[in-house]
Amino acid sequence: MTAGPEPPKHGRQEPGKIASRQIFDGRIVHLSVDEVRFPDGSTGELEMIRHSGAAAVLPILGSPEDLDPEILLVRQYRYAVGGYLYEVPAGRPAREGEPWEECARRELEEETGFRAGRLRRLTMIYTTPGFTDERIHLFLADQLSAGETFHDADEFLEVERLPLSRAVEMVRDGSIVDAKTICTLLYAATFALSGSIQP
């Protein structure tokens, strides 16, 4: 089900943007202050970060039918949190209009050195809807084959192999705190894989 505005009450205009004032136009994010009409008809200003969106992919080594398949995660340095995070491979489109499946395949190979023989869409998430429209499209990849890594100048990461059950346990014990990774792991373990991995 896609999120959207509630129908307006009788005599009221639909909620949404009235006007927008750009504050910053960066390589990754675009910050504006928007004048907004709220569902009750009142208006106010909200800071808004617009983002191109991203694709994230959980790589499965072996078969998704395995009871506890081995997966790949990256351990990546993130300046914003002051250290390293365990994450699923992910990234932004290389060009405007790049299909999300293509983006997921490319990011998987660039970050891990594996190509996806098969890619399955899981779901889409909004990362922080209080102030950004960023969406991340989540995928599951298997039938992997060797490819080539390519890291951006500001990417510092290591690839780690571990059982899915261990990754789910790392969510529970707080070792994995990245939101897209938590969503991808728990969605895959709960809905997409035949094994009965329980947190």
Cα separation of 59 and 153, whole Å?
Answer: 23
Q: Residue 197: what pLDDT?
A: 46
Cβ neighbors of 75 (< 8 A, separation 6 or more) are 84, 85, 86, 87, 157, 158, 160
Cα separation of 70 and 48, whole Å?
Answer: 39
Amino acid (1-letter code) at residue 127? T
Q: Residue 198: what pLDDT?
A: 45
Mean pLDDT of 145-157: 84
Where do the structural domains in the chain lie, given as residue ranges?
16-51, 54-192
User: pLDDT tier at 194 (50, 70, 90 boundaries)?
Assistant: low
Encode pLDDT of 6-57 as tens digits. 555 555 689 999 999 999 998 889 999 999 999 999 999 999 999 999 999 9
Mean pLDDT of the chain: 91
Residue 164, by phi and psi: left (phi above 0), alpha (psi -120 to 50) or beta? Answer: alpha
Mean pLDDT of 160-188: 97
Q: What is the CATH number of domain 54-192?
A: 3.90.79.10
